[in-house]
Chains A and B, each alone.
Chain A
Amino acid sequence: MHMADALITPAVGGVMLAVSAGAIGYSAKKVKEELDDRKVPLMGVMGAFVFAGQMINFTIPATGSSGHIGGGILLAALLGPHAAFLVISAVLLIQALFFADGGLLALGCNIFNMGFFACYVVYPLIYKAIINKNFSAKRITAASVSSVVIGLQLGAFAVVLETLISGITELPFGSFVLLMQPIHLAIGLGEGIATAAVLSFVLKSNPMLLDGYQAQEVTVKMQSRKVVVILLAAAVIIGGFVSLFASGNPDGLEWSMEGVAGTAELESDSAAHNAAASLQQIFSFLPDYGFKGGSEENAAAGTSVSGIVGGGITLGLAGLTGYLITKTKKKKVKCQS
């Protein structure tokens, strides 16, 4: 679907070049904002990877035809939309210069058809929406197949429009669309499946490479933090409950139950913050709560505090033992080897 120079007029080529140059300027600005100079060689190598990857054909069973991976969505899923757009533009420029795959004046059209739609339309609206910060093989497959297919459909449609506006071909709009769209539906399905396979592999082997996975990593961390919070809360409840039960004062129990319920429900990005905040609340609030009442309440609070402290020390000891065990085990392995 790389357009050649011969298929467009200077006006169409010029307008599309201007549009794509604008988009490159925008994405370059965005990339610079978030740059991390580690990303510089990564973008270069990824461009080379997509280049090489598109030359590796795979066989589609039962059809006898072959396909290759799609570029835009794969790059966006790995590098984020802005860096991906720069990479795909560079790849298209190199293809035009080195292989005559797409023309130089048609470069603007090609960048728009294959880069812009993939990185700035389909990736945020479809891919990200389907993934919805929940990376699983199923979601990645659904997201990449549908976004590659839709991206190619948009691109193919743009090819039709650009060619027709240029007035180069005699094909009427209807039959041109009927010719282009189904072909690219088939190509898109092939590319989509391949892209999904690659991304699923990445998810299995090194999910940190996926764009946006960082956010999920936080929630994963949060989950382990959640476990810690729940365990802590359990220690607090049990320690507090037992001592409070002895003192016959249920208020403290109700209060800590609320606190636990509050932390257990958190799932959003800021969940970690919230969890930390409520933990803080537990620890800073408790002495305040415990020691403000009369002498009888005071005594009850005193016992629950001792229960909490005791629970904390036990947990700490258990943690330390676990740590020591793993450490000695590691040492043994080292000695053996």
Chain B
Amino acid sequence: MSKLAESLNKIQTLEELSDGITVLHRIHPMAKMITTIFFLVVVISFDRYQISGLVPFFIYPILMMAIGEIPYKSVLSRLVIALPFSFFAGLSNPILDRQTAFLLAGLPISWGLLSFFSILLKTVLTVMAVLIMVATTPMDQLARQLVRLRIPKVFVMQLMLTVRYLTIIIAEASSMMNAYHLRSVKQKGIDLNHVGTFMGQLLLRSYSRAERVYLAMKCRGFNGEYHFAQAHAVRKSDILYCIGLCTGFFIFRWCNLSMIIGRLLGQ
């Protein structure tokens, strides 16, 4: 499957997921946004050698994935993109920092190895948290909250339009790619000599589509304002969700649950 078709697939899956009707989907988008941001901040605020403190944080994504009916396949496909960069940025740590931190069943574990795994854990956690938010909240509702947060409307409007036209332009590019590959057998990408015409052609097509879109919008009374879907009013359950989870993250941040359980078992 080509990269284009693959991402088209991803976007569509995500849109279908965010259309679901689970309890998590019904939580107010603002509550989910605040919770997610808080989770991210707490997770990355751990020092670089921390592992045991991070592990309990998996409770949140694992529970939410189950409640929100989010398949694990989508986590994996996102990790494929997010992990390599973290992996290579962290790879130098076990090589450069070889001082032994402790012995694990006789095997010396270096500080570098600890910080390397810490980076990987943080990556997985943050990727999962963002996924949970976007897989249970439709994009236009997120956009509406951005406007409420005083993010400039021009920006949010253009964000929404990009999302709207993403699938269309990708589909267009995909069919152009197909046509190109049918005429150039066994070639991987596009020949450098053809990039200008190929991409330029796509650009002109996009441009004339923008013209048509504009005219169509104008016909329907567009006057520079974009109307966003209203979210339902904030309910008690939303506030409870937000405060409850954030308090939980806060407690997990200061009390190392892994250590506590470990000690209990040790005794």
Name A's B-contacting residues (CB within 8 A). Answer: 2-10, 13, 21, 24-25, 28-29, 31-32, 35, 37-38, 40-49, 51-53, 55-61, 66, 69, 78, 86-87, 89-91, 93-94, 96-101, 103-105, 163, 167-171, 193-194, 196-198, 200-202, 205-206, 209
Q: How far is the CA of A86 from the CA of B3 in the complex (A)?
A: 25
Partner of B189, one of A51, A59, A163: A59
Which residues on A sit within 8 Å (CB–CB) of B204?
202, 205-206
* In contact, A40 and B86 (Cβ under 8 angstroms): no
* In contact, B79 and A87 (Cβ under 8 angstroms): no
* In contact, B130 and A103 (Cβ under 8 angstroms): yes
Partner of A56, one of B4, B92, B142, B155: B4
Partner of A44, one of B130, B162, B170: B162
* In contact, B155 and A201 (Cβ under 8 angstroms): no
Smallest CB gap from A5: residue in B: B126
Which residues on A sit within 8 Å (CB–CB) of B187?
59
Q: How far is the CA of A47 from the CA of B213 in the complex (A)?
A: 14
Known contacts A53-B199, A100-B82, A105-B40: A58-B190 contact under CB 8 Å = yes
Name B's A-contacting residues (CB within 8 A). Answer: 3-4, 7, 10-11, 14, 36-37, 40-41, 43-45, 48, 78-79, 81-82, 85-86, 89-90, 92-93, 95-97, 112, 115, 119-120, 122-123, 126-127, 130-131, 133-134, 139, 142, 151-155, 157-166, 168-170, 172-173, 177, 187-192, 194-204, 206-207, 209-211, 213-214, 217, 222-224, 226
Which of A59, A78, A104 has the most C-beta atoms of chain B within 10 angstroms of its own C-beta? A104
Partner of A47, one of B7, B161, B195: B161
Which residues on B sit within 8 Å (CB–CB) of A94?
159, 162-163, 166
* In contact, A201 and B123 (Cβ under 8 angstroms): no
Which residues on A sit within 8 Å (CB–CB) of B195?
58, 69, 193-194, 197-198
Smallest CB gap from A7: residue in B: B89
Partner of A48, one of B130, B133, B169, B194: B169
Which residues on A sit within 8 Å (CB–CB) of B217?
40-41
* In contact, B192 and A60 (Cβ under 8 angstroms): yes
Smallest CB gap from A31: residue in B: B154
Which residues on B sit within 8 Å (CB–CB) of A206?
204, 207
